[in-house]
Structure 1
């Protein structure tokens, strides 16, 4: 069926159209095609409409970021929020290859030849409203994520999260003082492919010049490289004296992690800070990936994992606590006898909405219910804290979340990560009177040795 070009004259909220055309680039083969994708924003469709384009980076045409509607939508909402129509143009490369897929970034020293010839195409795909003041100029935006090369390790599907991709990547080293190559192992979900769900540093066991497809790697669990995880751990400054007191009587601090992903936070709290950790993850396939690829320990004396819905687990633990039962009674029934005899000292929440059409939102709306927040409070010790990774969809979303927590908890604190995306919200059961005299104990010394002080020192009361 032939494409009616006139359909692009108007903006239609959330409309997504893809098609292929012959590649006019002189460097292309005679039979090669261009894939064109056009997406209209669900929001910015007024008289100030703006059209922008992205020429897909060379060798990245098969990446979910550029070849799926969810990836395109995430690029528009998260990366180009003021754009009414986003147009992607790239080579049509969807043939599956046998064996591992290794991608190397094209040269950054020369301009992508497509950028020189797509001008007329972009004008033809622009709505009429853009021509009210003459012929518009459609800007071609650059997509840069620092990936030099990537190796796909596995694609699989989870019941709850859908399709997943596990990959090793080599990143540009921004620190000119060091010549070491920077490698990461990453987990991405197809539903939000431009959002890295989990990443850990990996260390090459091979020669430093070995190609990513030939190198053998080991997991470096001693450092957190995901942007919002170090600030989450930095929040432990607020309970450092409480944790120090537990350690002095030979009692391990206890953490509940809601949302595990690859397990980097669980592994770090246990391995670097000596916590007993209970982790909750809804998708068993995600857990399998975490165990196989990201170094997450299976149930042991100090790390235990529950497969289930985080909100339901919290409510069950709360019900047992309110009835006078110990938290361990639920864990014994669910976790092969591993017992939590005391309430938690800290609860770390890393849950997202999973709905790309609303953008990246964390935590999900269900988490903001007062019954859930009250349940969190009921399973914390008198000096405990809740730490939440927040990606607000709007200022009103964040204000509402703060309001709901303020009704249940004593004090609220915040860490602004500085990436214009994440905030860490910290809620305390009791007032932290000794906030400014937390230095000097052994736990604080341990914390500052593994987490940058820049995060610890920027905790502010709100």
Structure 2
């Protein structure tokens, strides 16, 4: 059926249309067709509608970010939040191959300019009619840039709860004084959140790596945190450094509950680098299989234990078990799967996101903000305990609501800005704690600054 281009003259919230056209730059490209995808924002925008276009980086056409509606939506909401319509222009992928993707992110300037000029009339034809009220408008063409050099798909699989997953090895552009050294990561991504890396760990080549990283052998380096918000979450421990050192002084290990395991990078780091006892909670068996097989997660039952279940339900069960003095009552169902699990923790770290991505990435999910959940969370923390939450606010209103919800249950709130314009770490305390700013002689602080950036520790602020 022929495409009726007049449909683009008006905005229709969440409308998503894709089509192909002959490539006007066919002479300078091996691709015969261009794929066009048009998405109207699900959010109402006041005033004159704004439209932008993004050129899909060369050889990235099969990436979930660019070839799925959910990826397109997240590009629109996270990168162009003030725009009413986002148009993606990319080459139609015809070979259907999967595996190694050699990613040349930037076309030559000449080819880039030729393509932008060639698609100008098409972009005007895809504008709402109202955009022409004051003459012929300009459509800004945005460039998607990241530090990816190459990527090799390791496995695609599907979890019962998270859906389709992708495990990939990537090479990144090196920075800093040792920029001549090649940087490699292993990443886990979920298709429902295509432009969000769920987990990444540093990987080290076991032999020389050529141009095809898909053929290289790597080992996991679990001694360093490379995922942007994990180091700030660990930095939150400085707020309870006195309590932690008191525990170690009498021969006790810190007990940490991690809600959301993913690839297990945080769990492995807390045990390996800091010597903590860690209980992880993960809802999806397939995610745990991936964490064990590809990301180096090792459970020993003593220092690392994993509970398979919904994080919120597990917290409620642990709270119920604690309130009942470890006896199973009629209103505490299905507690057998928690036999032998601690019911009181020094620290709880929360890294769970919303399964509903219609309004973009968001963490934690809305149900986590319910008073019953936060009260249960507080009840399984010791008096000197803290909870650190990875927060991806969909908007400022969501973040303010989260702060209000925590203030109703916890004592003091602190915040660390991750610095990537996406994540915050929110820290809540059970009781008021002493100022740690002068605690420079703390052995824990010295240890923390040796394994993560001290800038995150210094940036903790009360909110």
TM-score class normalised by the smaller sequence: over 0.9
Tell me the residue number matched to 1:20.
20
CA distance in structure 2 between the aligned counterparts of 1:267 and 1:118, rounded to whole angstroms:
49
Runs of 4+ in 1 over 4 A off after TM superposition: 28-31, 106-109, 329-332
- One of 332, 337, 341 as aligned partner of 1:334: 337
Q: Is the 8 A contact 1:332 1:338 kept in 2?
A: no
Residue 123 (structure 1) shift:
0.8
| Worse overlay, 174-183 or 364-373 | 174-183
Q: Is the 8 A contact 1:163 1:189 kept in 2?
A: yes
Q: Is the 8 A contact 1:62 1:94 kept in 2?
A: no
Tell me the residue number matched to 1:117.
118
CA distance in structure 2 between the aligned counterparts of 1:362 and 1:158, rounded to whole angstroms:
19
Residue 25 (structure 1) shift:
1.6
Q: Is 1:251 aligned to 2:261, yes or no?
A: no
Tell me the residue number matched to 1:101.
100
Tell me the residue number matched to 2:240.
239
CA distance in structure 2 between the aligned counterparts of 1:261 and 1:15, rounded to whole angstroms:
32
Give unpaired runs (5+ residues) of structure 2. none
Residue 52 (structure 1) shift:
0.8
Q: Is the 8 A contact 1:181 1:208 kept in 2?
A: no
Q: Is the 8 A contact 2:153 2:214 kept in 1?
A: no
| Worse overlay, 284-293 or 417-426 | 417-426
Q: Is the 8 A contact 1:368 1:404 kept in 2?
A: yes
Residue 213 (structure 1) shift:
2.2
Instruction: Quickly say closer, same or farther: Cα 1:177–1:124, change in 2 above 3 A.
Output: same
Tell me the residue number matched to 1:35.
35
| Worse overlay, 437-446 or 345-354 | 437-446
CA displacement 1:242-297 (0-9 Å, x = unmatched): 11111111111000000111111111111101110000011111111111111111
Tell me the residue number matched to 1:388.
389
The TM-score with structure 2 as length reference comes to 0.94
Residue 326 (structure 1) shift:
7.9
Q: How does 1:5-84 map to 2 (within 5 A)?
A: 5-27=5-27, 32-84=32-84
Secondary structure in 2 aligned to 1:306? strand
CA displacement 1:370-406 (0-9 Å, x = unmatched): 0000001100111000001111122221111111111
CA distance in structure 2 between the aligned counterparts of 1:7 and 1:434, rounded to whole angstroms:
60
Secondary structure in 1 aligned to 2:215? coil
Q: Is 1:414 aligned to 2:415, yes or no?
A: yes
Aligned residues: CA RMSD? 2.1
Q: Is the 8 A contact 1:22 1:31 kept in 2?
A: no
Q: Is the 8 A contact 1:382 1:429 kept in 2?
A: yes
Q: Is 1:373 aligned to 2:386, yes or no?
A: no
Secondary structure in 1 aligned to 2:358? helix
CA displacement 1:78-137 (0-9 Å, x = unmatched): 011111111111111054327x33333255543435323111111111111111111111
Secondary structure in 2 aligned to 1:207? coil
Task: Tell me the number of residue pairs that the alignment of Structure 1 and Structure 2 aligns.
Answer: 458
| Worse overlay, 188-197 or 387-396 | 387-396
| Worse overlay, 244-253 or 427-436 | 427-436
Q: How does 1:24-423 map to 2 (within 5 A)?
A: 24-27=24-27, 32-97=32-97, 100-110=99-109, 111-112=111-112, 113-175=114-176, 177-207=178-208, 209=210, 211-325=212-326, 333-334=336-337, 338-340=340-342, 343-423=344-424
Give unpaired runs (5+ residues) of structure 1. none
Residue 184 (structure 1) shift:
0.8
